[in-house]
Amino acid sequence: MITGASAGLGRAIAAALAPTHTLFMAGRPSRRLDEVAELYGATTWPVDLADTEDVETVVEAITELDVLVHNAGVAYPGRVAETIPEQWRATMEVNVVGPVALTLALLPALRAARGHVVFINSGSGINASPGLASYSASKFALRSFADSLRADEKDLRVTSIHPGRIDTDMQRDLIAYEERDYVPEQFLAAETVALSVAQAIATPPDAHVHEVIIRPR
């Protein structure tokens, strides 16, 4: 299962995993998500990470799950003094509470498969980024949740992926906030990060990749 697979990095992860996995694509129903699902022969699951009340009911039919990739996320550019509490709340709901709720709902299925949970984190989950106050805080929290899950669920593999800046629509919004020209070549390709995700998942069962840090050259 991949969240946030309708575009950008999520779509690239779907492309990287489609040759070896049957894909479930979780997200808000949309034509873009349906198009990606059709392209890769995937099944869509109507999951809204901003409203987790129905998550457990939505996924209860899944009894065994090999891999869960948490890719969905939001970012509201702004330095601390520019932010408002509502932005922090919205960021935490999607970037932290949503992944926690979905993981808990799918925990029996992951345990049954001795599965793998992959969190698409960020360099901002290691060092706070100027102009991304609420986003950085959420990624630190997500990293901590991944560490706790790894410590508490010994039969699961749990990997945090910490890429640098990626050529995506989210990145364009951030560069616009910074009032700079957008130069795609300065950033990682989504396909490059997706390949690292696929490689971590394909690691032989006697090994456990805890963290992957990727930066543009």
Secondary structure of residue 17 in the 3-state scheme: helix
The beta strands (E) that lie in the chain are given as: 2-3, 24-27, 43-46, 67-70, 116-120, 157-163, 211-214
Inter-residue contact 77 to 132 (CB < 8 Å) = yes
Sign of the torsion formed by the C-alpha atoms of 3, 150, 215 and 206: negative
Beta bridge partners of 214: 163
Catalytic residue positions, numbered: 135
Residues 6+ apart with CB under 8 A from 217: none
Q: Please tell me the distance from the alpha carbon of residue 163 to that of residue 178, in angstroms, as a whole number.
A: 20
